[in-house]
A and B are shown apart, each in its own frame.
Chain A
Amino acid sequence: MFNISKKDAITFLLFSIVVLTMPIWLAPLGASYPGLLQKFAIYALLAVGYNILFGLTGYLSFGHAAFLGVGSYAAVWSFKLLSMNPVLALVFAMVFSGIFALAIGFVSLRRSGIYFSILTLAFAQMSYKLAYSVLSPITHGENGLQLTLQDPRAIDLMFIERGSSLPVSSFFGIPMNGYAGFYFCAIILLIGFFIAQKITSSPFGMMLKGIKSNEDRMNYTGFNTKPYMLTAFVISGMYAGIAGGLLSITDPLAGAERMQWTASGELVLMTILGGVGTLVGPVIGAWIIKYFENIFSAWNESVLHGFFSFLPDNIESFVVLISSKFVGEGWHLTLGLMFVLVVVFLPGGIMEGVRRISAMFKKNNDAEKEVIDPDNIPKSTSGKGE
């Protein structure tokens, strides 16, 4: 169960180092504060899980934010009713998002292609609207679901007295905020990444890739593709649920806006930007988008003035005038441009860029040998057809 190929082991090791040292290497980029670090880990997990569906099978779900929302609510309810223990909350998030994904997947997977995407979008938007209206006894509508002093917390209160302030989620005494919260999320991310690696390199993963490559051939080869698709859908829904649970663990407030379709769209952007079908790509995509959303959006004209201060005055003010449209509030513009550039020039996402560069280096090294390495042929990761 724990044996993986050498290549996967190296990837996992490097990935672990990169994730666990994030507080250090993100410091020069101005992003090394716990709140953002937690988001980096959580959205990376979300993207890894999403890639199991979209990357491996090619089925584009536009409704994964719904599972994120269900996971968030389930975790907060676990805090309110039972205990502030984060592991228990994650189990709840996983189970409820799994059941929810099973129901939505069962119906949506009756169709493929654009119809599947539209069905998932419809279900997610319905969930979002219901969370604001009919389901407000469970979701607390616009106020969002939060902890109160009067919560029953049945398990916790058997052992400790009810305090006078709101409790925080804690893992056997370690409070799940600040850096401890980040490391908790990071460890869950690493576990999730490892499982995704296992799935990708298993016969099951091979069948999912087969479905993406040629679903008809899969049928004529004797595979019933429906249960394969449904399993992939539920697994990826559970990843989203756990990510939602982690959002609640680090900040116990769940709101319906997490389920809105823009959140699902953002997830699609992350995956495509980083590289569909690769393990690391979606993580990089998630980090770039979260970085832009939180850091780049805070840049203002004075930062730009400092940046361009080496230019002559009149040119500087012109450059700042233009570039200021792309930072701060305008970060969406920069992201959009970046997305267009990646999709047009690197259809395999940033990972394709990485592959091309490493192939260039390899070629230089092997120039005299002239060996063609079959593993080195760039993979086509640009969706279904050829």
Chain B
Amino acid sequence: MVKAVNNTVLHVADVHKTFGGLHALADVDLAIEEGKTHAIIGPNGAGKSTLLNVIVGKLAPTRGTVVLDGEVLTGKSPYEINQMGVARVFQTPEIFPELSVFDNVMAPAFAKRDGSFKMNMFKSIESEKAIADAAEEIIVDFGLDAMINTHAGALSRGHKRRLELAMCLIQKPRILLLDEPTAGMSRHDTNTTIELLKKIKLSGMTKVIIEHDMHVVFSLADKVSVLAQGRIIAEGTSDEVRANPKVQEAYLGEAQE
């Protein structure tokens, strides 16, 4: 069992998840440290997405707990967990396709400021200067300003991904979870995303990143955990993990075939 050290932000403590007879996660123990980028890698079906789903409250673990800054997340609903500072980027971008890019970024800012529910139905959106300015700033930062009034559904996949990242970051989350942020992207788009994520890294935000692409993992992660068949089989820096024969057998070997 990993001991939660002082600078641990998110602690996944002995989490177990079974679907019928299938052990999707078995005794998973992870300590995500403040300001670090923690990558979780593993072959298909290793339980990576299940782990994220348990953290954000989409799935309840069969046993074990998830703790954020000393507060237990297990048993809370996704919106409560987000309000506590967990933001997630999905494998296929989850945005509001019918809303404009601007509204897509404004909505999370409202959630951050007003909490999970507020009946502000007689104020106009235009009068919310502070939120509009913050949204515009982040849209410019992410290079989406040319399409600020476009419906988000009309964006390219790469732009949708960037928009989703902006939606998460405007909330200044305590921890950002990224589920294969470069899945299905061209080499060029992947590199742009890596640059973007490196920029976020400089800001000191704590991140958990699930990734298939080793190029992405090794250029971003401070720490790597390898998940195989629901268990963590290795943990360490990129170089340590790369050198680990168990990992090569379970994952890297397969990928290099």
Contact = CB atoms under 8 A, between A and B. Distances in A.
Interface residues of B, number: 46
A362 interface: no
B116 A223 contact: yes
Tell me if A's interface is mostly helix, strand, loop or mixed: helix
Nearest to A3: B124
B79 A214 contact: no
A221 B154 contact: no
Nearest to A375: B149
B33 to A, nearest CB: 24
Most B-side CB within 10 Å, residue of A202, A203, A210, A379: A203
A227 B117 contact: yes
Q: In this complex, which of B95, B111, B128 has the most chain A Cβ atoms within 10 angstroms of its Cβ?
A: B111
A interface bracket (residues with beta carbon within 8 Å of B): 35 or more
Interface in B39-90: 56, 77-79, 82-83, 87-88
Contacts of B88: 220
B191 to A, nearest CB: 27
Interface of A: 1, 3-5, 198-199, 201-207, 209-210, 212-214, 216-225, 227-228, 231, 374-375, 377, 379-380, 386
Given A218-B79, A374-B148, 7 more contacts: A206-B125, A210-B107, A212-B98, A222-B112, A222-B171, A374-B149, A380-B151
Contacts of A205: 121
Interface of B: 56, 77-79, 82-83, 87-88, 94-100, 103, 106-108, 110-112, 114-128, 147-151, 153-154, 167, 171
B97 A213 contact: yes
A278 to B, nearest CB: 13
Contacts of A206: 99, 103, 106-107, 110, 125
A224 B107 contact: no
A217 B96 contact: yes
The 10 closest A-B pairs by CB, nearest first: A222-B111, A374-B149, A222-B82, A204-B121, A224-B116, A213-B96, A213-B98, A219-B78, A217-B94, A227-B117
Given A222-B82, A377-B151, A214 B96 contact: yes
Given A206-B107, A223-B117, A201 B98 contact: no
Contact of A216 (B94, B128, B154): B94
A383 B114 CA distance: 28
A216 B90 CA distance: 11
Contacts of A207: 107, 110
Nearest to B78: A219
A84 B116 CA distance: 43
A203 B78 contact: no
B77 A198 contact: no
Given A227-B117, A386-B153, A221 B124 contact: no
A198 B125 CA distance: 10
Given A1-B122, A202-B124, A204-B119, A209 B99 contact: yes
25 contacts: A5-B124, A5-B126, A199-B121, A202-B122, A203-B118, A203-B120, A203-B125, A204-B119, A206-B110, A210-B96, A210-B103, A212-B98, A213-B97, A213-B99, A214-B95, A220-B79, A221-B107, A222-B171, A223-B107, A223-B117, A224-B77, A224-B116, A227-B117, A228-B117, A386-B153
